[in-house]
Every structure is written in C-alpha cells, then in structure tokens.
Amino acid sequence: MHKYYFFLDETGNHGLTYVDPNFPLFLLCGCLFNENELLKAKEPYISFEMVKEKIKWNISLSDLQPLLPLA
C-alpha cells in the first residue's frame, strides 16, 4: 500500500460572507505527493538547511563586511 501526502493552501476571503472588490478571489490549491517522491524532493532542501546552519554558526558579525561603504 502506498502512502501519500496532500498539502492544501488557500488565499483570499474564505468566509464567503463579504467579497472584497479589490481582491474578489478565493483560491484553494493542493499538491499530492507519493511518500517516496516527497522524500526525494526533500533531500536537497534538508542538505541546504544543514549547510546554512553550519555557515550561520561559523561566521561571526565581525567577519561580515558591508557591501557598500556606509556614508
């Protein structure tokens, strides 16, 4: 038996009692992932997060140089 994950998000006014004329939209969007495909997709993200954390803790504020001279 396969395991799936479904991610759902919404935007707009979900109460449907008032429609904002400046944003008269309500949208539901979802993605369905097979567990194996989801794990493969998460691997690069997890690796990136690990590298980012390692860099963050190895750099002190004194190591950071301003990109532009401060006037």
Domain residue ranges in the chain:
4-61
| Residue 55 token pair | 């860099």
- As given in the structure block, the two tokens for residue 18 are 């008032």
The reported pLDDT for the residue numbered 65 is 55
Beta strands (DSSP E) in the chain are: 4-12, 26-34
Between the alpha carbon of residue 70 and those of residues 40, 42, 65, 66, 67, the distances in Å are: 44, 40, 11, 8, 9
Dump pLDDT digits (tens) for 27-70. Answer: 889 988 888 888 887 777 777 777 777 666 665 555 555 555 55
Instruction: Work out the pLDDT band at 8, boundaries 50, 70, 90.
Output: very high
pTM here?
Answer: 0.48
Q: Which helix (H) or strand (E) holds 51?
A: helix 35-58
**Average pLDDT estimate for 1-20:** 82
